[in-house]
Amino acid sequence: MTHGDGTRSVWAGEEHPLWERSTQVPIAQTVSFGYGDVDEWMAVALGEEEGHIYSRNTNPTVAVFERRIAALERAEAATAFATGMAAISGTLRTLLGPGDRVVSVTDTYGGTTKLFLEFLPRDGVICELVGTDDHEAIETEVAKGCKVLYLESPTNPTLKILDLERLAAAGRAAGATVVVDNTFATPINQRPLELGADLVVHSATKFLGGHADALGGIVCGGQGLVDRIYHYREINGATLGPFAAYLLQRSAKTLHLRIERQNSNALTIARHLEAHPAIDRVFYPGLESHPHHDIAARQMKGFGGVLAFSIHGGLDAVKAVLPRLQLAHLAANLGAVETVAGPPATTSHVEMTAEERAAMGIPESLVRYSVGIEDVEDLIADLDQALEAAAG
Ligand SMILES: *Cc1c(COP(=O)(O)O)cnc(C)c1O
């Protein structure tokens, strides 16, 4: 298929005609699928014929969402999960067993870091987390041999950038399966499989869904790997439900438009805040001042809808500014059509102590600001009035 991202967002994954000739994807809100013919039922159960048996395994509404995101990521296959964390833990547990080594970085999403530090070691998996800024140190760890190289870029919440093409090459040379969490970028801005990764994982809860009303996760990649992860999921049971799948595939139809707007809003706001006297530092890969701006410019089409900034005056200033924002939910999610703001202590790194956050270079004066699709002039005016009122 040679279609562009907009066409794929709208059409990919729909097989027409749909049920009763509806033009829109129906919600197959059903646990199971009935068969009048036992031979046919058995053929579907054995995978010899197409069809669905039981919704923990497969469901037609979920399948549309899987095909749509696979098409956007240029992947052969995809399998959807109940949440992003279910997708990430299902992927890692499929690939890793006792004695296996996984190399990752210190700045992965907070829940993912917990998997590496708390849960995977219990199963005898050796987890090596390297400083996110040090590409050479990551390559050195990978070259020692590992089963999985797990990457995330841009990272949460300080928007660090990893050179995915360079690190995927290192991972492949070591015989590792390379997994990339592409939640912050989305396939509109960055396509890790084209940069050499084997698997892409998403929290669909964020930009893919985009409306903060459905949880979900998805893994995309080659058929063989995705089949293994699907098998883990069908038994482990963290399946995406049909109603959430309906919402997510519907929202994906506007993904390209939302991301283009969020990219441009975020860049304009980042530039504005960088020049603002109340702001200590702005973290956004689209700024020339970002230490890895050149890598981001090479591997991303746009720089994404999330930025972070630290305010002069520390946590007290954060507590004064945030409640004064009128055009932002103070909440833990991101990637929605509405602007969402919050400190890492209550969002990405809620699982960590203040000391752990400090050790990771996440200041308590930091605000994560997920830019929505509002008019950028209104968001800038809102930020300015909140910063001014808090200072005065
Ligand atoms: C939110 C998030 C996750 C976890 O997703 P859930 O849907 O909340 O389970 C994983 N990775 C990143 C980068 C995220 O932002």
* pLDDT score, position 2: 87
Q: Where are the beta strands (DSSP E) in 184-305?
A: 199-203, 217-221, 279-283
Of the pLDDT bands very low, low, confident and very high (cuts 50, 70, 90), residue 351 is low
Question: Is 280 known to be catalytic?
Answer: no
Q: What is the DSSP string of 180-217?
A: EE-TTTHHHH--GGGGT-SEEEEETTTTTT-SSS---E
pLDDT tens sequence across 92-131: 999 999 999 999 999 999 999 999 999 999 999 999 999 9
Average of pLDDT values for 57-74? Answer: 97
Please state which of the ranges 12-26, 220-234, 349-363 shows the lowest mean pLDDT. Answer: 349-363
Do the domains spanning 5-252 and 255-391 agree at the CATH topology level? Answer: no
The pLDDT of 240-262, averaged and rounded, is: 98
230 lines ligand 1 (CB under 6 A): no
CB atoms within 10 A of CB 117: 14
**Res 17 pLDDT > 90:** no
C-alpha span between 348 and 331 (Å, rounded):
11
State the CATH architecture for 5-252. Answer: 3-Layer(aba) Sandwich (3.40)
Per the CB < 8 A criterion, the answer to whether 64 and 9 are in contact is: no
37 belongs to the catalytic site? no
How many A from CA of 206 to the centre of ligand 1?
A: 7
- Would you state the pLDDT for residue 359? 80
Structural tokens at position 223: 């058929």
Average pLDDT, integer, range 200-227: 98
Superfamily holding 255-391: Aspartate Aminotransferase, domain 1 (3.90.1150.10)
Atom from ligand 1 closest to the CA of residue 216: 7
Phi, psi of 101 (to 5 degrees): -110, 135
Name the pLDDT band for 389 (thresholds 50, 70, 90). confident
| Span from the CA of 109 to the centroid of ligand 1 (angstroms) | 7
Question: Which residue, judged by its Cα, is nearest atom 7 of ligand 1?
Answer: 84
Contact status, residue 35 vs residue 52, Cβ threshold 8 Å: no
Mean pLDDT throughout 185-200?
Answer: 98
Q: Is 181 a catalytic residue?
A: yes
Instruction: Output Rg (C-alpha) for the chain, integer angstroms.
Output: 21
Question: Domain segments of the chain: what residues?
Answer: 5-252, 255-391
Please tell me the least confidently modeled range out of 5-19, 94-108, 376-390: 5-19
For strands 279-283 and 199-203, give the pairing: unpaired
| pLDDT value, residue 358 | 80
Q: Indicate whether 346 pLDDT > 80.
A: no
The owner of tokens 């482990």 is 236
Please state the rounded mean pLDDT for residues 268-273.
Answer: 98
Q: Name the pTM for this structure.
A: 0.96
